[in-house]
Amino acid sequence: MTPGPAPTVLTLDAGGTTLTFQALRGGQVLGEAFTIPSRCEDLEIFLEDVTTGFSRLREDAHGCDAISFGFPGPADYPAGIIGDLWNMPAFRGGVPLGPILHDHFGVPVHINNDADLFTLGEAVHGLLPEVNAHLESAGNPKRYRHLLGLTFGTGFGGGIVVDGRPLLGDNSGGAEIWLMRHKRIPECYAEEGISIRAVRRVYAECAGIPFDESPEPRLIAAIAHGRLRGHREAALEAWKSLGEVAGEAIACALTLVDGLVVIGGGLSAASDLFMPTLMGVLNGTIRKQDGRELPRLVQRVYDLDRPLEREAFLQGSPQSIPVPGRTVPLVWDATKRSGVGRTRLGTSRATALGAYEFALWKAGGR
C-alpha cells in the first residue's frame, strides 16, 4: 500500500444474492455504495461482475491502494483461494480469487471471513472503544482489549480480536463458533438453533404448521410483540430457543476469549426477544458431578444495552486493599465481568470498516 495518512481501500460485501461495493478512505465511505446481482452460477460471469464492480469503484474513487473484503468459506484466506461454497456453485475445486484480482488491479488484495471483519470493525470503531471511553468517563481504570463478535443471520458467524489483532487461526478457521454444540439438541451444531431457518423451524414446530408456511423472522418478531396476528406463543418460543442456544455457545467461547461480546446480523434487530434468555444462560449455573451448582462463568455478564446494567458494569466493585509497609492502599476490582451489546456501527458498516482496518494491518507487515 502506498504511504500516506489516508489510503483508499475498495471493499465488497459478497453473498449468494447480491454484491455490494464501496470505497473507504481514512475510515470514511467515499461516494455511494452500489449493489449488483450475484450471478454465482458461472465462474467466468461472476469474475467479470466482480472486476467490473471494482473497476467502477476505483474510477469513482480516483484510484485505490488495496482491495479488502469478506467472502464466504471454506477458504485459505491468506492465499486468497476459495473452496467449495454450497450457495455459490461457481466456486468448486479451489478458485484463486485473490491472485486473480491482484493480477488484474495490481494492488494488494485481502480476503477474509465477513464475521472476522465485522468484529475488527467493532473493535476499532464500535463497541470496544465506546465501552472503554465510558469506563474512562466513569473514573474506572479497567480497560478491555479483547472482543468476541457474532453475527446472527442466514448463518451463525463469529470473529475474535485479541489486543487489536484478529485471531485468524492456522487454517483460516479461527472463531468457527457455528460448530459449537446445539444446547437443546447436542448431536446438532449451534447454527441449527441460531439462524433464520432456526427461528422459522421452531415457530413452525410450535405452531403445528409446515416449515414452508412459517413466516420470515421479522414477521415472527412482530407476532411475538403482538403487532401482527399469528401464533404468539410459538413466536416467543422461537426467539427464546435462539437465546438459549446462543447463550450456551457464547458461554463456551467466553471461557477462552474473556472479553466483551458484540452481536450483529439481521436477527439482532429482535434482541429484546432473545436477550433475556441469552443473559440468563450466561449468568446461570453449571453443576459438579455431585450435583452442587457453581456459576456458568467466572465473569458476571452485563447487558450493555440496558441502562441500569451498563451503569453497574461501569462502576464495578472497587475495593481498597492495605499493603504492609505502604501508606497508600491498592485499589482492585473484585468483580470479574464481561458485557454483551448490539453492534454500534451496523453490521454492514462494521464489516466494511473491518475490511479497511485489515488492509492497514496487513500493510504494516502483520
Please say whether the beta carbons of 105 and 46 come within 8 A: no
Does 251 reside within a domain? yes
Q: Which structural domain range is residue 184 located in?
A: 118-344
Q: Which residue has the higher pLDDT, 137 or 4?
A: 137
The CA-based dihedral angle spanning residues 72, 76, 78, 80, taken in that order and rounded to the nearest 10 degrees:
-70
What percentage of the chain exceeds 70 in pLDDT? 98
Mean pLDDT of 194-221: 98
Q: What would the pLDDT profile of 340-363 be if each residue is shown by its tens digit?
A: 999 999 999 999 999 999 999 988
Confidence (pLDDT) at 6: 84
219, 318: one domain: yes
57, 185: one domain: no
Confidence (pLDDT) at 184: 97
Confidence (pLDDT) at 274: 98
49, 152: one domain: no
Q: What would the pLDDT profile of 66-102 be if each residue is shown by its tens digit?
A: 999 998 888 999 999 999 988 889 999 999 999 999 9
97, 179: one domain: no
Confidence (pLDDT) at 133: 98
Per-residue burial over 291-306, b = 16 or more CB atoms within 10 Å of its CB, e = otherwise: eeeeebbebbbbbbeb
Flag whether pLDDT at 62 surpasses 80.
yes
Dist CA 350 CA 364 (whole Å): 21
How many separate domains does the chain show?
2
171, 147: one domain: yes
Dist CA 110 CA 99 (whole Å): 10
The band of 365, judged by pLDDT with boundaries at 50, 70 and 90, is: low
288, 187: one domain: yes
Does 58 reside within a domain? yes
168, 269: one domain: yes
The band of 58, judged by pLDDT with boundaries at 50, 70 and 90, is: very high
Does 230 reside within a domain? yes
Confidence (pLDDT) at 4: 52
The shares of helix, strand and coil residues in the chain, as percent rounded to the nearest 5, are: 40, 25, 35
Q: What is the pTM of this model?
A: 0.93
263, 328: one domain: yes
105, 195: one domain: no
Dist CA 61 CA 15 (whole Å): 23
Grid cell in block for residue 257: 476469549
Confidence (pLDDT) at 22: 93
Indicate the burial class of 328 (C-beta count within 10 angstroms; 0-12, 13-18, 19 or more).
exposed
Q: What would the pLDDT profile of 140-197 be if each residue is shown by its tens digit?
A: 889 999 999 999 998 999 999 999 999 999 998 899 999 999 999 999 999 999 999 9
DSSP for residue 186: T
Kind plus residue range of the DSSP H or E element containing 45: helix 43-60
- Which CATH number goes with the domain that contains 28? 3.30.420.40
> What are the CA-CA distances from residue 358 to residues 63, 144, 190, 233 (Å)?
19, 20, 28, 44
| Gyration radius (Cα) of the chain, Å | 22
Q: Which of 112, 137, 171 is a domain's end point?
A: 112
Mean pLDDT of 12-41: 89
